Amino acid sequence: ISGVQCGGIQREQRRYDVRATQHTSSMWLTIAKDSATFTVSGTRTVRYGAGSTWVEKSVSGSGQCTTTFFGRHPAAGVAKVCQLLQGTGTLLWRVVSLAGAEFGEGSLPGTYSSNYIYPSADSATYYKNKVMNLVRLSFRCERLQPTLNQVFDANELSRLTGFVNAVTATGQTVLLDPHNYARYYSNMIGSSAVPNSAYADFWRRLATQFKGNPRVIFVLMNDPNSMPTEQWLSGANAALATIRSANASNVV
């Protein structure tokens, strides 16, 4: 996964020159230090150097981690190593995180365009042209559902679905990220103030909205913290169970 994050109040139109031109990643294993001898099985690709400066060579049997063996000096004045190519893989996701809808946590629910703002679908199109294919959208649960176990706010839901539908229509995938740190108005999920059943209710409603769109991925929660692991596990399991009971097969 490769990615970048941007956004903010009155900065949403700012353009960032992000280029994800390398679509594959190579995996290398260090097999020898500078001047040492190494042996490979069969014919393998080995590189010699350090940092971002390397020289590669196809090696059969044994070799030496030296300038003489590789034919040129890749990086002067630094300690070098030899690394064996393990394989290459295509980057499945190239992600951009568009911020703004989660801003203003000190003012909840807050006022739209003053305390927070949603990114525009045009922003996602810009990054698609930079070969990004996954858009992370962070938002606050309190704005979508100002009162526990109650219907979603119509205006906020319209902003959320409008962005998601426009972006996924271009072929990109949206990662929905409740940016709440396992809290709801500062109360911890799994507490008496925010029982797991209320958290599950939130996810039932959200999953129902997007269960027909396979280009939507659900993130149960951004950065749950300062709570017992068992407490968060219980809340997460409740959310996951209700997502599946809503017949949503989206990736979680």
Do 46 and 156 share a domain, yes or no? Answer: no
Does 17 fall in a domain? yes
Do 146 and 240 share a domain, yes or no? Answer: yes
Do 54 and 126 share a domain, yes or no? Answer: no
Do 101 and 66 share a domain, yes or no? Answer: no
Do 83 and 196 share a domain, yes or no? Answer: no
Q: Which domain holds residue 59?
A: 26-90
Q: Exposure of 138 by Cβ count < 10 A (0-12 exposed, 13-18 middle, 19+ buried)? A: buried
Q: Which of 34, 68, 90 is at the close of a domain?
A: 90
Do 51 and 111 share a domain, yes or no? Answer: no
Whether 99 contacts 7, CB under 8 Å:
yes
Do 163 and 230 share a domain, yes or no? Answer: yes
| pLDDT the model gives residue 38 | 94
Does 50 fall in a domain? yes
| pLDDT the model gives residue 20 | 40
| pLDDT the model gives residue 1 | 47
| pLDDT the model gives residue 140 | 94
Do 85 and 204 share a domain, yes or no? Answer: no
Read out DSSP for the chain? -EEEEEE-TTTTT----------EEEEEEEEEETT-EEEEEEEEEEEEEETTEEEEEEEEEEEESSHHHHSS-SSTTS--EEEEEEEEEE-S-EEEEEESTT--TTSSS--BTTTB-PPPHHHHHHHHTTT--EEEEEE-HHHH-SSTTSPPPHHHHHHHHHHHHHHHTTT-EEEEEE-STTEETTEEBTSSSB-HHHHHHHHHHHHHHHTT-TTEEE-S-S---SS-HHHHHHHHHHHHHHHHHTT-----
Q: Which of 43, 68, 90 is at the close of a domain?
A: 90
Q: Which of 90, 117, 139 is at the close of a domain?
A: 90
Do 55 and 99 share a domain, yes or no? Answer: no
Does 173 fall in a domain? yes
| pLDDT the model gives residue 228 | 92
Q: Which residues lie across from 216 on neighbouring strands?
A: 174
The CATH code of the domain that includes 8 is 3.20.20.80
Q: How many domains does the chain have?
A: 2
Percent over 70 (pLDDT), the chain: 88
Does 251 fall in a domain? no
Do 58 and 114 share a domain, yes or no? Answer: no
Do 36 and 133 share a domain, yes or no? Answer: no
| pLDDT the model gives residue 25 | 62
- Tally Cβ neighbours within 10 Å of residue 232: 18
Do 32 and 81 share a domain, yes or no? Answer: yes
Does 168 fall in a domain? yes
Does 193 fall in a domain? yes
Pick from 107, 135, 104: which is nearest to 119 by CA?
A: 135
Does 252 fall in a domain? no
Rounded to the nearest 5 degrees, what angle is found at the Cα of 188, between the Cα atoms of 185 and 194?
A: 75
pLDDT in tens, 146-193: 999 999 999 999 999 999 999 999 889 999 999 999 999 999 999 999
Low-confidence ranges of the chain (pLDDT < 70): 1-25, 88-91
Does 61 fall in a domain? yes
For β-strands 53-64 and 37-50, DSSP reports them as antiparallel
* Structure token digits, residue 126: 């810009």
| pLDDT the model gives residue 208 | 97
